[in-house]
Amino acid sequence: MLKVSVKCSFFTVFIIFFGCSDPEEQHFETESQHVKDSISEVRIDSAFSAITINCDTLMVYQVPKMVDSFFKKPGLLQAFFKNNNKYSDADKKVEKVIRELQADCDSNLLKETYRIIRLRQKLKRVRHKR
């Protein structure tokens, strides 16, 4: 019975000592997390604007080149997307969002390229022999 009460009192003191923390410490952790989140938001916003501008530029200048290269050598189109640099960052949340934005841009470029290719193929007149 004595061993049980000693163990119970030890665990009670342990829980009280480590379970109750300073409110200032919690406030500091919350403030620190808020600062980290705001920095991440700023970095994501700046990356979003840079990726959007880059994607728009590629849409205007690179898509016609990709369409022309498709008719010459179809393998060159996939080489463009394989050569893109992969983004890496210490903050995994920022890295994940930026990679998703870049993948969305690449997807839009590819869709636009194939849309133009299909339109060009439809515009060609085909003569049917009778």
Task: Measure the CA angle with vertex 86, ends 80 and 92; round to 5°.
Answer: 150
**In the chain, % of residues over pLDDT 70:** 62
What is the distance of C-alpha 123 from the center of its chain?
A: 37
Rounded Cα–Cα distance for residues 46 and 53 (Å): 11
Q: What pLDDT shows up at residue 11?
A: 67
pLDDT by residue (tens digit) across 8-41? 676 676 676 666 655 566 667 788 778 888 888 8
Rounded Cα–Cα distance for residues 59 and 116 (Å): 12
Q: How confident is the model at residue 118 (pLDDT cuts 50, 70, 90)?
A: confident
pLDDT by residue (tens digit) across 84-105? 666 666 677 888 888 888 888 8
Q: Looking at the whole model, is its pTM more than 0.75? A: no
Tokens of 123: 């515009």
Q: Nearest CA to 93 among 54, 44, 46, 24?
A: 44
Does residue 77 carry a pLDDT above 80? no
